[in-house]
Amino acid sequence: MKTDHYRLISIDPGSRNMGLAFTEVNLLTREITVVEAETVVVDLFLRLHEGEYSFGEIIERQLIISGVLKSTCERVEPHAFVAEDFYLAGNATAYRSLAECMLTAKNAVLQYNNNVKFLLYTASNIKKKIGVSGTSGDKAAVKEAVLKLNNLSISSDIDTDALDQHAWDAIAVGYCGALEILEQTKDIISRTV
């Protein structure tokens, strides 16, 4: 792994569809690059492995999310885990589901390495950082805003047309984390260069 790169895994949490992105920050050049992005379709995993689990659907979903995050952490070796914070927007069932997803994700990352930094951002703060109205519900606006960011590049290995809203949200979340890391390291890096 490159020692001058800070690696972040970011998620748009969800128990059915979880956006997942891997972003690298070059601490010397201050470049932010999205290396991988996808949506983990948990229902697809459930169908592919039907009958393998006998714990009930909620726990099965948690096991899938945990397994995906653990294997991603082992492959990517992240320094930080970044997520959109969950909130109660009038639907207690959705809130419970997001809370369970976040706890599962946090536990999976901690099992990989308990020194990984955790960063959480509200949906409105994420949107503001990428230049979208914090109250906008327009999912396409996130994609459009991310593609316009001058200080973010997306790997040519990623088919941006194939990404859905969950993957774009995970990229936006990772971008917020990358900006925070750059802010925290700016004085340290400038003294060592």
Cα 27 from Cα 158, distance rounded (Å): 23
Q: Which fold has domain 5-192?
A: Nucleotidyltransferase; domain 5 (3.30.420)
Given a cut of 90, is residue 2 above it in pLDDT? no
By three-state DSSP, how is residue 126 classified? helix
Tokens of 122: 């509200």
Domain ranges of the chain: 5-192
Q: Cα–Cα distances in Å, from 162 out to 15, 25, 53, 62? A: 21, 24, 30, 25
pLDDT of residue 9: 98
Cα 56 from Cα 54, distance rounded (Å): 6
By three-state DSSP, how is residue 13 classified? coil
By three-state DSSP, how is residue 191 classified? helix
In the DSSP assignment, the letter for residue 89 is: S
Mean pLDDT value across residues 142-171:
96
pLDDT in tens, 40-55: 998 887 777 666 656 6
Of 34 and 64, more confident: 34
Residue type, 57: E
pLDDT in tens, 95-132: 788 888 889 999 999 999 999 999 999 988 999 999 99
pTM greater than 0.95 (yes/no) = no
CB 53 within 8 A of CB 62: no
> Largest Cα–Cα distance of the chain, in whole Å?
57
Nearest alpha-carbon partner for 83 in 63, 67, 97, 103: 103
Handedness of CA 139, 109, 80, 25 (dihedral sign): negative
Given a cut of 60, is residue 192 above it in pLDDT? no
pLDDT in tens, 32-42: 999 999 999 98
